[in-house]
Chains A and B, each alone.
Chain A
């Protein structure tokens, strides 16, 4: 069974541009999460989608946005890129939560802003 898959593996963008990262959850999982792992800041929760709806959002500015498609895949968009957006972006998925289902992670997408 395929795990959580993310693309691209690496992405280099210029400050001010937009970046789009994509994620496919484990088959059968309806919830998708995005986390940012920036150097020295640890893992920070970004967004949670379930059944196509944004369910929760971390403490990030509105230029971080995303969506979940009918097939439960998701994309994360970062507009007006800033140097400090350089980080590993991890996508994760789980079955519908509320009962503490385990969250499984993908291998991440490295975003470098120059």
Chain B
């Protein structure tokens, strides 16, 4: 079974600075997908970024980028130029490529607070 570990329950950053959230996972699969979701106080889960395991290039979406280290099974999220609206819970998630068991396996989350 796959597991996802987020070792930082809470983090804080000053507005405009950069912060990195950590995520490690355990799997025997070779093909899979990794995601970062954001859950603001409104509770809706919002996709931040996704990474296909077969792609060596790290995904980026505007101020959000990942550092994907497949051999180390590490998938960290970097938020640049942090904004107050980035305050939220951030969840790292894993999904197998195929096989009839498509489901997201989530980490416990990291609560990020951006301070003015």
Contact = CB atoms under 8 A, between A and B. Distances in A.
Interface residues of B, number: 25
B19 interface: no
Contacts of A100: 33, 52, 95, 97-98
B47 interface: yes
Nearest to A37: B43
Contacts of B33: 100
Nearest to B99: A98
Contacts of A104: 47
B105 interface: yes
A45 interface: yes
B45 A105 contact: yes
B106 A107 contact: no
A103 B91 CA distance: 14
Contact of B44 (A33, A48, A97, A108): A108
Interface string B38-51: 00001111110010
A59 to B, nearest CB: 10
A33 B103 CA distance: 8
B78 interface: no
B102 A97 contact: yes
Interface of A: 31, 33, 35, 42-43, 45, 48, 55-56, 58, 88, 90, 92, 97-100, 102-108
Interface of B: 33, 35, 37, 42-47, 50, 52, 91, 95, 97-98, 100-109
6 contacts: A33-B104, A56-B102, A100-B33, A100-B95, A103-B95, A105-B44
Given A45-B105, A97-B98, 11 more contacts: A42-B106, A48-B102, A48-B103, A56-B100, A97-B102, A100-B33, A100-B97, A102-B47, A103-B95, A104-B47, A105-B44
| In the A-B complex, the 9 residue pairs with the closest CB atoms | A105-B45, A97-B102, A43-B106, A100-B33, A107-B44, A45-B103, A98-B98, A42-B108, A108-B43
